[in-house]
Chains A and B, each alone.
Chain A
């Protein structure tokens, strides 16, 4: 179909390296796997529907010869009905398995300070800036530096209203609440410079509430948190 054939063009225009689909952490990789996987399954659905649609619309369109034709009335067909109930259920079951597995692993939780192992970072969000506090108490605004390590554990809390912590290139987002602290884990970030954003609408300067993210080697990180501002 016409609509489908423009898809590659769009992919091309977007430069093929779409941020979220080319993530730089294993957390993000799991997420992009899910995106690709579900996209694949959904493509099957879309193509099935498109083919049936194009075929039926073309074949049964009105033409002069059919002027007086009154089509046969068909009430339904139980077998077909069952087919398109059961096949989607199976397809969704296939999708559900990795969904459940990865969701269980990744869902942000509240009050998990002790349980998780990794480099802890306190994140404070407020209208309209981010403050990151490192293990040794070093506080930095709108710049997040983290080491390449097994896991970075973010403890997020807001000083006013809801914001959302998002580094598209690394991993998905977590909302930041004023009344409860959430914990989110990013595993194996890879070195590089990325852009962080506030992803929950929070008022006047929501669009400007961005921050820079640098993932550096473990030694550089050590140096970084030791050095004075």
Chain B
């Protein structure tokens, strides 16, 4: 269909426009009718960790649904051989899996995890907020700016189609001219920057803002996981940032790092996977942390082998940086490199196994309450092991010549990612929902969600192991009727729709919970850690007076012994909360830079840069510390 200004718009884009406009109108009417504008204005300027965490989660869920609907398009197109569903063949298929992968990883899984950390970590360690509330807001808005930038591509029908891995030379301007790939480059770059800041923030918070007496050896495991994950983020996302920086030069300024007769396509792969492999543990470790807190709560029993749990987290993190080339067994690095990376990859199974068995032995001897968060945690264990062992099979390098880039790999990574990250996020959301909103999600609907999702998940991804071995490459939009793939793919598609249906129960649950408006108390789950000592939802000013921590799971043992937690009025200097519009403007100015570079309107890029710089200056002249410093101290004159 031809539309002025936009040119030829394919029908899917048109539908998306119409849908978004209608949705936008409905949401606006709702906001105005319910007089929610002040709330939005408040959230835009907030630096409070719970509010920022809530926004992370809100947008994470939104993008999860968007990317999930993409997955349903993929599955519908693949349901039958030689299928022609709507527009999803050729480049549309390529666009849809690129969007699906990129959005799921960067704009759904990451913000959901960061959001949960934002909400929970300060409460768990007895801190009043993250160490740098302002920077926290900057991190969030950068994520959102990057995500919106990436999403815009679709509405202008210039969606990137290079895969979430963006392999060069395909991703250089010679083979994907026009702006499409730039949306990928800048979208990921901007949000990645935000992620780095948030990781930095979390590290300082965890290292320096723990409540008195909360030694590292008494810290809840989710906080431990957040700490180690943050270190992984610092290294991995920085390498990715440089990879994207070089790719930007290749695309816009005529360098040839990754293509031509001097450049090296494999170099991009190295940079990408030095990021990409640690990234999968960045996704998994926080989930491990959540399970390690949830399982003891509902088994009424402390975690088994706490030191081993911490050490294995650290080991996984460390080994995660030594295995990246297992994604590149077929690129001809030679037998030495292939065997080296095969062995290091296998080694990661050991610390992961330690965790699995420690979870199992936490369960052993406990009293298991089958609440929804617990169900998700229990569902995780066998599912994740199934995904983990196919990972070990992939690490057998010569066998990987067969597995690589086939649906076997697709099966592996969905198994591990959905089992750890996604089930973890669901578990965490149900578990901490009272701390975020003050309401408890409905348990019965939650169980529907759990069972449908779990069954759908196995039904979708189990057959993919076999279709991969049957010779189905990934990233192909169709297959022949004679290839023995029909039944397998059809089952996968049914499973995907089951997962979709299960998500509708989440929507229903949210609706129900928020119309019922039944407030819960501080401690609805009979919890063990400090977050359950503060009000639900967590107030802006917490831990005054500060709790004194004498052991692990202090709240639990205090309850057991029928005593109050000891407190002290000697609080440590808390970060200063403010309301400020600068973070969102900073993110916006980077957004402008990205638009300018993408369309080579350099004046606009420069304008964005100038705006950003002015904001830096305003920021340093209106530092919130100004009002708190130098009380009774002389100025420099």
Contact = CB atoms under 8 A, between A and B. Distances in A.
Q: Do chains A and B touch in the complex (CB under 8 A)?
A: yes
Contacts of B378: 53, 57
A161 to B, nearest CB: 5
Interface in A190-205: 195, 197-205
A33 to B, nearest CB: 9
B168 to A, nearest CB: 8
Contact of B266 (A30, A70, A96, A177): A177
A6 B462 CA distance: 10
Given A71-B365, A92-B349, A177-B265, A76 B470 contact: no
Contacts of B469: 18-21, 35
A141 interface: no
A103 B335 contact: yes
B238 to A, nearest CB: 26
A45 interface: yes
Interface stretch (B31-39, B294-302, B607-615): B294-302
A153 interface: no
Interface string B299-342: 11110111110000000000000000000011111110011001
Contact of A34 (B163, B300, B338, B398): B398
B301 A73 contact: yes
Interface string A15-48: 1001111000000101110110011001001100
B493 interface: no
A85 to B, nearest CB: 6
Given A14-B466, A195-B471, A203 B94 contact: yes
Contacts of B627: none
B332 A10 contact: no
Contacts of A169: 471
Interface string B223-264: 000000000000000000000000000000000000101011
Interface string A195-229: 10111111111110000000000000000000000
A62 B466 contact: no
A199 B265 contact: no
Contacts of A60: 299, 363-368
B354 interface: yes
B270 interface: no
Nearest to A69: B367
A39 B299 CA distance: 33
Interface in B566-588: none
Contacts of A203: 94, 161, 170, 175-176
A95 B392 contact: yes
Given A53-B360, A161-B169, A179 B349 contact: no
Interface residues of B, number: 94
Given A13-B487, A108-B330, A62 B368 contact: yes
B338 A107 contact: yes
A173 B402 contact: yes
A199 B385 contact: no
A198 B91 CA distance: 16
Contacts of A50: 382, 385
A207 B169 contact: no
A152 interface: no
B405 A171 contact: no
Nearest to B302: A73
A42 B386 CA distance: 9
Interface residues of A, number: 91
Nearest to A42: B389
Contacts of B302: 73-75
A144 interface: no
Nearest to A14: B466
Given A96-B343, A100-B339, A206-B475, A31 B402 contact: yes
B393 to A, nearest CB: 5
A199 B266 contact: no
A57 B484 contact: no
Contact of A160 (B169, B396, B483): B169
B471 A62 contact: no
B449 interface: no
B19 interface: no
Nearest to A100: B339
A100 B342 CA distance: 8
Nearest to B458: A3
B174 to A, nearest CB: 9
A31 B403 CA distance: 10
A56 B330 contact: no
B488 interface: yes
A83 B357 CA distance: 10
Given A62-B367, A96-B343, A161-B175, A71 B402 contact: no
Contacts of B471: 19-20, 168-169, 195, 197
B301 A71 contact: yes
B414 interface: no
A73 B296 CA distance: 10
Contacts of B476: 206-207
Given A49-B385, A60-B368, A202-B170, A70 B332 contact: no
B405 A164 contact: yes
B84 to A, nearest CB: 13
Given A75-B302, A76-B308, A206 B367 contact: no
12 contacts: A38-B392, A60-B368, A72-B301, A73-B301, A81-B308, A88-B349, A99-B396, A103-B339, A107-B397, A174-B401, A177-B265, A195-B483
Minimum-distance CB pairs A-B, first 10: A172-B401, A168-B471, A207-B476, A76-B305, A42-B389, A107-B335, A34-B399, A201-B475, A102-B398, A84-B357
Interface of A: 1, 3, 6, 10-11, 13-15, 18-21, 28, 30-32, 34-35, 38-39, 42, 45-46, 49-50, 52-53, 56-57, 60-62, 66, 69-77, 80-81, 84-85, 88-89, 92, 95-96, 99-100, 102-110, 160-162, 164, 166, 168-169, 171-175, 177-180, 182, 195, 197-207
Given A76-B307, A173-B404, A203-B161, 10 more contacts: A15-B484, A42-B389, A60-B299, A109-B335, A172-B401, A177-B332, A178-B259, A200-B167, A201-B163, A203-B94
